[in-house]
Amino acid sequence: MTSGAVVTPRAPSVFHRSLFALSVLNFFLADARDGLGPFLDGFLATHGWEPFTLGVIATIGGVLGMATTPLFGALVDASAYKRTLIILPVTFVTTMALWTLATPNGFSVFGGQSATAVVGAVIGPALMGLTLGLVGEERFSRQVSRNEFWNHTGNVVSLAAIYAGTLLFGIHGVVGLMLFAAFATIAATLAIDPKQIDHQVARGLAHHDGSEAPSGFSVLAGSKGLILLSLVLMIFHFGNAPISRLIAQTFSIQLGTPFRTTAITTGVSQLSMIGMALLAPWLIRRFGLATIFIVALAALPIRGVIAGTFPSFAFVFPVQFLDGVGAGLIGIATPIAAERILSGTGRFNVGLAAVMTVQGIGASLSNVVAGWLTDLGGYGLAYWVHGCVALMALVLFVLGRHDIAPRVPSPSPAVPAGRQAGSVEETAV
């Protein structure tokens, strides 16, 4: 472990129990971190809410979350209570979601979703910091893939449960499942032994030389790779964010079953993401991190073209499969790239939070634009525009790939064997 970190020596059984608890946390967090998540648009669309209004709601939440994410990233870097920074937001988000289900009026929807966006913004940095502090940077790439595997598996199980629950119990089935997921998430978080978390490693100080760490602003402003990564993701999420929302609105209205329809469409993408999470460690090891980015970015234009050309429900399946390829691989590659770029700075979490903030700009703006395009020329126009805009992200990444996805240096002989487990050596792209 890093010198100076106050961490209890790792008993293998205790450490493995904490890793198991981390997997369980990711499994149930899939349903607990976003409240109504993908179901919100379909639910509100069947209650008469217009696409532009739904886009405004998503934009307001995105802007608020975007503004607070860097602050939460700095909080995670400084805090030794990373478990608490997951438990409290999960409790609050679940409460707000239940309020929206009970009374879907303007106050509960706008107020609840805005508050959820602010509080929920801490969960991502806290989970990444907790993961890095548990396993160290040599195993971080592999553990991120495992986290994503269990997260998407949890999503699929949750979607199937919601589908069945609404058939049997209606809206009460959704409420019961949300409460169960929240309690299970809290229990799994508490099962992680806090003594196993190295808070110095968790903030990216595994190789720090002991000198004073630079400020977060100087690290971010002086990192070409981090700036390029942020811009690529901003463009990608501008294109990708609204497509699944628009699909949920379209077919929830056509079929009249918002929860079951959204469960099917989202389930396809989540199954695809599970496959990507299983393949990602091998793909990174064999082809390099840059190739993973290229595949993910290339999937989105194809997705937009299919969605914009074929309005039949049958074509939801390839469209959502490509969502799993693009968003699934991006979700794995982003924290790995940020950790490599910021290794040794002590600002991993605030750096990752800054990346999430910039990508949030693209996602937030896209919701209003998508609503306007839908009103202007229908859903097909919105799919075409948002799908094709991702070509700019692909070009920008190719030009800056060496800064965005740097190679991993070979492990030093002085690094303890436990830290080398799970290391990934890559082929340059």
How far are the Cα atoms of 34, 72, 81, 128 from residue 76, in angstroms, in the given order? 19, 6, 8, 9
The answer to whether the beta carbons of residues 346 and 208 sit under 8 Å apart is yes
Task: Look up tokens 């299970």; give the residue.
Answer: 184
Mean pLDDT of 5-26: 74
CA distance linking residue 241 with residue 65, whole number of Å = 15
pLDDT score of 225: 87
CA distance linking residue 293 with residue 306, whole number of Å = 21
Mean pLDDT of 145-153: 87
What lies within 8 Å, CB to CB, of 111 at 6+ separation is none
pLDDT score of 31: 67
Structure tokens at 262: 């959204």
Asked if pLDDT for residue 397 goes beyond 60, the answer is: yes
The answer to whether the beta carbons of residues 299 and 251 sit under 8 Å apart is no
255-275 pLDDT tens trace: 566 666 777 777 888 888 888
- Residue bearing the bigger pLDDT, 42 or 360: 360
- Residue bearing the bigger pLDDT, 38 or 424: 38
398-409 pLDDT tens trace: 999 899 988 765
pTM of the complete model: 0.66
* pLDDT range class, residue 297, cuts 50, 70, 90: very high
Residue whose C-alpha is closest to residue 22's, from 200, 118, 120, 142: 142
The answer to whether the beta carbons of residues 290 and 405 sit under 8 Å apart is yes
CA distance linking residue 55 with residue 51, whole number of Å = 6
* pLDDT range class, residue 424, cuts 50, 70, 90: very low
Residue whose C-alpha is closest to residue 113's, from 379, 369, 376, 367: 367
CA distance linking residue 114 with residue 197, whole number of Å = 32
How far are the Cα atoms of 43, 135, 426 from residue 422, in angstroms, in the given order? 43, 9, 13
Structure tokens at 251: 């077919």
Phi-psi region of 189 (alpha: psi -120 to 50; beta: other; left: phi over 0): alpha
